[in-house]
């Protein structure tokens, strides 16, 4: 069968935009049976350096400053939306109006209302979507999900997820869009706790209600120099400062649909953990632990002898697409290659396969409920869609 060519348009050539692009190109190397091949047609970024990178390095045929030119092109079959959060709604609605399926980064909207607007509009237009909940694709997570679903761990009693990062631990970290409510929405809740909430729901059941607290520990940050916008931008020592508007740290206690209790913790200012994104699941017959920093390992207790380490192996999720045997590691970019493959197949076959806009909306409702609970001090229901 000849694979169909799908013209790809990219919006924003930052960390994620570059990774989406590499993932589209890598997808057929690992999934040669894919019914579609990506053709990188056009990238949009107001930054000239990003546009040059798109054409000179990533291989886009052209680059433009305004994303609306991407949506206007008939030869663009699908788009990647990798812009800062405050642009997601506008760009996603433009993609939907143009009838383009999209792969969007998380958090999808700045609030549950925005995420819901995007998810509903995509559904009304009958478009498939993909959302950057990449940790789902780790083979060890696929195995964890299977172990839970097969009943190998018994009845699930409690789940712990902590997404602890240090990317904003330096108080000299510049006050970029990520720290401003109007630009980012929530802080670490949308950035990291949304991943954790998605993993908990993917593996252990729907989060039905939460009790949460949040805090901003670094209240002021230096204003950024022009162009500085990444997670890792630093302000100069003598720069004027501005107020951080969203939370650095969040902790949630949650009840899941199956009756289990979950705790979710997320921080962007920890000194020590680098990207310690962990999930632990405990059941009446066993338990498992996973940490993204050791992505290919699963701590598994399926006997009274306690935990043992098992390495991801062929048979766990898509591991065999990348490595022939256990012990040879996969990396972060590979998770995005799996996401790209799911998205390309979805578009070609017209069926939803990747984490979806609905999943992003669900995670956004958990984030909103956590913020409401932190304000009121009360347990808060997470509404069903």
Ligand X SMILES: NC(=O)c1ccc[n+]([C@@H]2O[C@H](COP(=O)([O-])OP(=O)(O)OC[C@H]3O[C@@H](n4cnc5c(N)ncnc54)[C@H](O)[C@@H]3O)[C@@H](O)[C@H]2O)c1
Contact at 8 Å (CB) between 341 and 27?
yes
82 binds ligand X (CB under 6 A): yes
Query: Whose CA is closest to 129, among 350, 335, 385, 333?
Result: 350
Beta carbon nearer to ligand X, 44 or 197: 44
- Of the listed pieces 42-50, 116-124, 290-298, 323-331, which binds ligand X according to CB under 6 A? 42-50
Among 3, 4, 35, 47, binds ligand X (CB under 6 A): 47
Beta bridge partners of 163: 266, 277
Q: How far apart, in whole angstroms, are the C-alpha atoms of residue 277 and residue 247?
A: 18
Among 9, 21, 45, 347, binds ligand X (CB under 6 A): 45
Among 29, 46, 151, 243, binds ligand X (CB under 6 A): 46
12 binds ligand X (CB under 6 A): yes
Looking up tokens 């609970």 gives: 373
Beta carbon nearer to ligand X, 162 or 211: 162
Taking the complex as a whole, the smallest distance from the CB of residue 246 to ligand X amounts, in Å, to 13
Query: Whose CA is closest to 341, among 43, 55, 22?
Result: 22
85 binds ligand X (CB under 6 A): yes
- HSE-CB of 230 using CA atoms within 13 angstroms: 10
Helix (H) or strand (E) holding 96: helix 88-97
Contact at 8 Å (CB) between 204 and 258?
yes
44 binds ligand X (CB under 6 A): yes
83 binds ligand X (CB under 6 A): yes
Using CB under 6 A, which residues numbered 236 to 275 contact ligand X? none
Helix (H) or strand (E) holding 358: helix 357-376
225 binds ligand X (CB under 6 A): no
Beta carbon nearer to ligand X, 23 or 256: 23
13 binds ligand X (CB under 6 A): yes
Q: Which residue is nearest to ligand X (CB)?
A: 14
194-204 vs 357-376: helix axis angle to the nearest 10?
110
Tell me whether strands 297-301 and 308-311 are parallel, antiparallel or unpaired.
Answer: antiparallel
Helix (H) or strand (E) holding 275: strand 275-283
Taking the complex as a whole, the smallest distance from the CB of residue 261 to ligand X amounts, in Å, to 26
- Of the listed pieces 13-21, 143-151, 207-215, 276-284, which binds ligand X according to CB under 6 A? 13-21
Looking up tokens 């940050």 gives: 221
Taking the complex as a whole, the smallest distance from the CB of residue 252 to ligand X amounts, in Å, to 19
380 binds ligand X (CB under 6 A): no
Beta carbon nearer to ligand X, 156 or 250: 250
**How far lies 106's CA from each of 93, 233, 287, 308, 314, in Å?**
15, 20, 29, 33, 29
Using CB under 6 A, which residues numbered 117 to 156 contact ligand X? 132, 134
Beta carbon nearer to ligand X, 46 or 99: 46
DSSP alpha helices (H): ranges in the chain? Answer: 15-30, 48-53, 68-71, 88-97, 112-124, 139-150, 181-184, 188, 194-204, 332-349, 357-376
Among 24, 67, 163, 343, binds ligand X (CB under 6 A): 67
Taking the complex as a whole, the smallest distance from the CB of residue 44 to ligand X amounts, in Å, to 5
Among 3, 25, 87, 320, binds ligand X (CB under 6 A): 87
Q: How far apart, in whole angstroms, are the C-alpha atoms of residue 186 and residue 214?
A: 11
User: Can you give the binding site for ligand X, defined by CB under 6 A?
Assistant: 11-16, 44-47, 50, 67, 82-85, 87, 105-106, 132, 134, 191, 229-231
């Amino acid at each position: 069968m000849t694979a169909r060519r799908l013209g790809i348009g990219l919006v924003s050539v930052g960390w994620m935009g570059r990774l989406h692009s590499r993932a589209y190109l890598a997808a057929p190397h690992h999934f040669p049976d894919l019914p579609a091949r990506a053709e990188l047609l056009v990238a949009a970024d107001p930054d000239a350096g990003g546009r040059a990178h798109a054409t000179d390095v990533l291989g886009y045929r052209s680059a433009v400053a305004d994303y609306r030119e991407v949506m206007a092109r008939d030869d663009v079959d699908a788009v990647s939306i990798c812009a800062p959060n405050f642009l997601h709604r506008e760009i996603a609605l433009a993609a939907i109006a143009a009838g383009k399926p999209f792969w969007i980064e998380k958090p999808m909207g700045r609030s549950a209302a925005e995420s819901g607007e995007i998810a509903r509009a995509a559904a009304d237009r009958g478009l498939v979507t993909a959302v950057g909940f990449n940790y789902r694709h780790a083979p060890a997570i696929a195995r964890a999900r299977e172990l839970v679903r097969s009943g190998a761990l018994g009845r699930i009693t409690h789940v712990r997820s902590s997404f602890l990062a240090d990317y904003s631990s330096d108080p000299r970290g510049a006050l970029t869009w990520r720290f401003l409510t109007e630009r980012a929405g929530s802080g670490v809740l949308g950035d990291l706790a949304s991943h954790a909430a998605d993993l908990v729901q993917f593996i252990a059941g729907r989060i039905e209600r939460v009790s949460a607290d949040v805090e901003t520990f670094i209240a002021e940050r230096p204003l950024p120099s022009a162009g500085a916008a990444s997670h890792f931008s630093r302000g100069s020592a003598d720069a004027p400062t501005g107020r951080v508007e969203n939370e650095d740290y969040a902790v949630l206690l949650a009840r899941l649909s199956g009756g289990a209790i979950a705790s979710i913790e997320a921080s962007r200012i920890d000194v020590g953990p680098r990207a310690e994104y962990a999930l632990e699941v405990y059941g009446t017959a066993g338990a498992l632990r996973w940490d993204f920093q050791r992505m290919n390992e699963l701590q598994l207790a399926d006997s009274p002898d306690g935990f043992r380490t098992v390495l991801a192996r062929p048979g766990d999720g898509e591991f065999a697409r990348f490595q022939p045997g256990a012990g040879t590691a996969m990396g972060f970019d590979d998770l995005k290659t799996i996401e790209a493959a799911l998205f390309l197949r979805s578009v070609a076959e017209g069926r939803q396969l990747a984490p979806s806009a609905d999943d992003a909306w669900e995670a956004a409702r958990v984030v909103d409920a956590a913020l409401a609970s932190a304000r009121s001090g009360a347990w808060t229901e997470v509404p069903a869609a």
